[in-house]
Amino acid sequence: MKTKNVPYFDYYVLLFFLLAFIGWVWEVALFYVTDHAFINRGVYRGPYLPIYGVGGLLLCLSLRRLRHRPAIVFLVSMVVCSVLEYFTGYLLEKRWNIRWWDYSGHFLNLHGRICLLGAVIFGLGGALLVCLLLPLYERVYQKMPKGWRIGLTILFLLIFILDATYCTVSPNVGEGISATFV
Protein backbone atom coordinates (compact mmCIF):
# COMPACT_ATOMS: atom_id res chain seq x y z
CA MET A 1 0.00 0.00 0.00
CA LYS A 2 1.61 3.26 -1.06
CA THR A 3 1.59 5.94 1.61
CA LYS A 4 -0.17 8.36 -0.81
CA ASN A 5 -3.15 6.01 -1.11
CA VAL A 6 -5.63 5.86 1.72
CA PRO A 7 -6.27 2.18 2.52
CA TYR A 8 -9.78 0.84 2.51
CA PHE A 9 -11.68 0.06 5.72
CA ASP A 10 -11.21 -3.66 5.11
CA TYR A 11 -7.41 -3.15 5.08
CA TYR A 12 -7.52 -2.05 8.72
CA VAL A 13 -10.14 -4.57 9.84
CA LEU A 14 -8.21 -7.50 8.37
CA LEU A 15 -4.94 -6.18 9.79
CA PHE A 16 -6.59 -5.80 13.21
CA PHE A 17 -7.80 -9.41 13.19
CA LEU A 18 -4.47 -10.72 11.90
CA LEU A 19 -2.62 -8.95 14.72
CA ALA A 20 -5.21 -9.96 17.34
CA PHE A 21 -4.86 -13.59 16.19
CA ILE A 22 -1.05 -13.44 16.25
CA GLY A 23 -1.27 -12.04 19.79
CA TRP A 24 -3.59 -14.86 20.80
CA VAL A 25 -1.21 -17.48 19.32
CA TRP A 26 1.71 -15.84 21.13
CA GLU A 27 -0.06 -15.90 24.50
CA VAL A 28 -1.44 -19.42 24.10
CA ALA A 29 2.00 -20.71 23.09
CA LEU A 30 3.68 -18.87 25.96
CA PHE A 31 1.31 -20.37 28.52
CA TYR A 32 1.51 -23.78 26.89
CA VAL A 33 5.29 -23.74 27.31
CA THR A 34 5.26 -22.32 30.86
CA ASP A 35 2.14 -24.01 32.30
CA HIS A 36 1.97 -27.07 30.00
CA ALA A 37 -1.70 -26.42 29.33
CA PHE A 38 -3.81 -24.91 26.58
CA ILE A 39 -5.33 -21.72 27.96
CA ASN A 40 -7.56 -19.50 25.81
CA ARG A 41 -6.21 -16.16 27.01
CA GLY A 42 -8.16 -12.93 27.15
CA VAL A 43 -11.64 -11.61 27.79
CA TYR A 44 -13.19 -13.01 24.60
CA ARG A 45 -13.90 -16.59 23.60
CA GLY A 46 -12.55 -16.37 20.04
CA PRO A 47 -8.94 -16.86 18.96
CA TYR A 48 -7.99 -13.19 19.15
CA LEU A 49 -6.78 -10.68 21.71
CA PRO A 50 -8.04 -7.22 20.74
CA ILE A 51 -5.31 -5.46 22.72
CA TYR A 52 -2.78 -6.81 20.21
CA GLY A 53 -4.94 -5.70 17.30
CA VAL A 54 -5.35 -2.19 18.70
CA GLY A 55 -1.69 -1.88 19.68
CA GLY A 56 -0.55 -3.22 16.32
CA LEU A 57 -2.79 -0.81 14.42
CA LEU A 58 -1.50 2.10 16.50
CA LEU A 59 2.08 1.10 15.69
CA CYS A 60 1.39 0.58 11.99
CA LEU A 61 -0.40 3.92 11.65
CA SER A 62 2.13 5.94 13.61
CA LEU A 63 5.41 4.22 12.67
CA ARG A 64 4.93 3.09 9.05
CA ARG A 65 7.10 5.92 7.74
CA LEU A 66 9.89 4.88 10.16
CA ARG A 67 10.06 1.25 9.02
CA HIS A 68 13.66 1.78 7.88
CA ARG A 69 14.67 2.92 11.38
CA PRO A 70 14.10 -0.19 13.52
CA ALA A 71 15.78 1.20 16.65
CA ILE A 72 13.31 4.08 16.80
CA VAL A 73 10.41 1.74 16.03
CA PHE A 74 11.61 -0.51 18.87
CA LEU A 75 11.73 2.31 21.42
CA VAL A 76 8.42 3.88 20.44
CA SER A 77 6.77 0.44 20.39
CA MET A 78 7.97 -0.18 23.95
CA VAL A 79 6.34 3.03 25.15
CA VAL A 80 3.10 2.85 23.13
CA CYS A 81 2.41 -0.79 23.96
CA SER A 82 3.27 -0.37 27.64
CA VAL A 83 0.90 2.60 27.96
CA LEU A 84 -1.84 0.65 26.15
CA GLU A 85 -1.28 -2.44 28.31
CA TYR A 86 -1.29 -0.42 31.53
CA PHE A 87 -4.54 1.40 30.82
CA THR A 88 -6.24 -1.69 29.36
CA GLY A 89 -5.34 -3.63 32.50
CA TYR A 90 -6.61 -0.80 34.66
CA LEU A 91 -9.93 -0.56 32.79
CA LEU A 92 -10.49 -4.34 32.85
CA GLU A 93 -9.79 -4.43 36.58
CA LYS A 94 -12.22 -1.57 37.26
CA ARG A 95 -14.96 -3.06 35.05
CA TRP A 96 -14.91 -6.64 36.35
CA ASN A 97 -12.68 -6.52 39.44
CA ILE A 98 -10.55 -9.16 37.74
CA ARG A 99 -6.91 -9.12 36.65
CA TRP A 100 -6.15 -10.86 33.34
CA TRP A 101 -2.37 -10.45 33.80
CA ASP A 102 -0.09 -9.67 36.73
CA TYR A 103 3.58 -8.77 36.48
CA SER A 104 3.96 -8.10 40.22
CA GLY A 105 6.87 -10.53 40.51
CA HIS A 106 8.75 -9.07 37.52
CA PHE A 107 11.58 -6.55 37.59
CA LEU A 108 10.53 -2.90 37.21
CA ASN A 109 6.79 -3.50 37.22
CA LEU A 110 4.22 -0.77 37.68
CA HIS A 111 1.25 -1.93 39.78
CA GLY A 112 1.68 -5.38 38.22
CA ARG A 113 0.15 -4.12 34.96
CA ILE A 114 3.39 -3.61 33.01
CA CYS A 115 7.05 -4.52 33.47
CA LEU A 116 10.40 -4.00 31.77
CA LEU A 117 10.54 -7.49 30.21
CA GLY A 118 7.07 -7.03 28.72
CA ALA A 119 8.04 -3.62 27.35
CA VAL A 120 11.16 -5.07 25.70
CA ILE A 121 9.13 -7.92 24.15
CA PHE A 122 6.57 -5.41 22.85
CA GLY A 123 9.40 -3.31 21.45
CA LEU A 124 10.81 -6.30 19.60
CA GLY A 125 7.33 -7.30 18.41
CA GLY A 126 6.61 -3.76 17.23
CA ALA A 127 9.86 -3.59 15.28
CA LEU A 128 9.16 -6.99 13.72
CA LEU A 129 5.62 -5.90 12.86
CA VAL A 130 6.40 -2.51 11.34
CA CYS A 131 9.68 -3.39 9.62
CA LEU A 132 8.91 -6.91 8.34
CA LEU A 133 5.31 -8.07 8.75
CA LEU A 134 3.54 -4.91 7.54
CA PRO A 135 5.25 -4.87 4.10
CA LEU A 136 4.42 -8.59 3.71
CA TYR A 137 0.80 -8.00 4.75
CA GLU A 138 0.47 -5.18 2.22
CA ARG A 139 1.69 -7.43 -0.61
CA VAL A 140 -0.73 -10.21 0.34
CA TYR A 141 -3.60 -7.73 0.80
CA GLN A 142 -3.06 -6.24 -2.67
CA LYS A 143 -3.14 -9.72 -4.26
CA MET A 144 -6.34 -10.78 -2.47
CA PRO A 145 -9.53 -10.35 -4.53
CA LYS A 146 -11.72 -7.52 -3.27
CA GLY A 147 -14.71 -9.84 -2.81
CA TRP A 148 -12.71 -12.08 -0.49
CA ARG A 149 -11.47 -9.09 1.50
CA ILE A 150 -15.00 -7.72 1.94
CA GLY A 151 -16.45 -11.15 2.78
CA LEU A 152 -13.77 -11.86 5.39
CA THR A 153 -14.18 -8.39 6.87
CA ILE A 154 -17.95 -8.85 7.29
CA LEU A 155 -17.55 -12.39 8.69
CA PHE A 156 -14.85 -11.40 11.21
CA LEU A 157 -16.78 -8.33 12.35
CA LEU A 158 -20.00 -10.31 12.85
CA ILE A 159 -18.22 -13.01 14.86
CA PHE A 160 -16.40 -10.38 16.91
CA ILE A 161 -19.58 -8.40 17.64
CA LEU A 162 -21.39 -11.55 18.80
CA ASP A 163 -18.41 -12.59 20.95
CA ALA A 164 -18.02 -9.10 22.43
CA THR A 165 -21.73 -8.91 23.22
CA TYR A 166 -21.68 -12.29 24.96
CA CYS A 167 -18.46 -11.54 26.86
CA THR A 168 -19.74 -8.20 28.10
CA VAL A 169 -22.04 -10.23 30.33
CA SER A 170 -19.89 -13.34 30.77
CA PRO A 171 -16.16 -12.64 30.17
CA ASN A 172 -13.67 -15.46 29.75
CA VAL A 173 -12.31 -15.89 33.31
CA GLY A 174 -11.47 -19.60 33.51
CA GLU A 175 -8.58 -21.31 35.26
CA GLY A 176 -5.23 -19.73 34.42
CA ILE A 177 -6.80 -16.73 32.72
CA SER A 178 -7.58 -14.31 35.48
CA ALA A 179 -7.47 -13.66 39.19
CA THR A 180 -10.17 -11.97 41.28
CA PHE A 181 -8.98 -9.21 43.59
CA VAL A 182 -9.32 -9.69 47.28
Q: Examine residue 1 and state whether it is found in any structural domain, yes or no.
A: no
pTM, two decimal places? 0.88
> Following CA atoms 136, 138, 144, 149 in sequence, which dihedral angle do they give, to the nearest 10 degrees?
120
45 found inside a domain: yes
How long is the chain? 182
Residue 105 lies in a domain: yes
Distance CA 24, CA 53 (A): 10
Summary mean pLDDT of the chain:
92
In a domain? residue 4 = no
The better pLDDT of the pair 171, 182 is held by 171
Give the pLDDT confidence score for residue 60 in this predicted structure: 96
User: What pLDDT is attached to residue 5?
Assistant: 65
The residue among 7 and 159 whose pLDDT is bigger is 159
Residue 3 lies in a domain: no
Q: How confident is the model at residue 31 (pLDDT cuts 50, 70, 90)?
A: confident
Short-list 50, 53, 44, 118, CA closest to 83: 118
Domain presence at residue 128: yes
Structure confidence at residue 53 (pLDDT): 97
Instruction: State the pLDDT at residue 182.
Output: 36
Beta-carbon count within 10 A of 172 CB = 18
Domain total for the chain?
1
In the chain, % of residues over pLDDT 90: 77
Give 35-80 pLDDT, tens digit per residue.
898 888 888 999 999 999 999 999 999 999 999 999 999 999 999 9
pLDDT at residue number 6:
59
Asked whether residue 4 carries a pLDDT value surpassing 70, the answer given is: no
| Residue 2 lies inside a defined structural domain of this protein | no
Q: Is 73 inside any structural domain? A: yes
**Mean of the pLDDT values across residues 15-26?**
97
Task: State which H helix or E strand residue 53 sits in.
Answer: helix 50-63
Q: Give the range of the structural domain holding residue 39, as residue numbers without chain letter.
A: 9-180
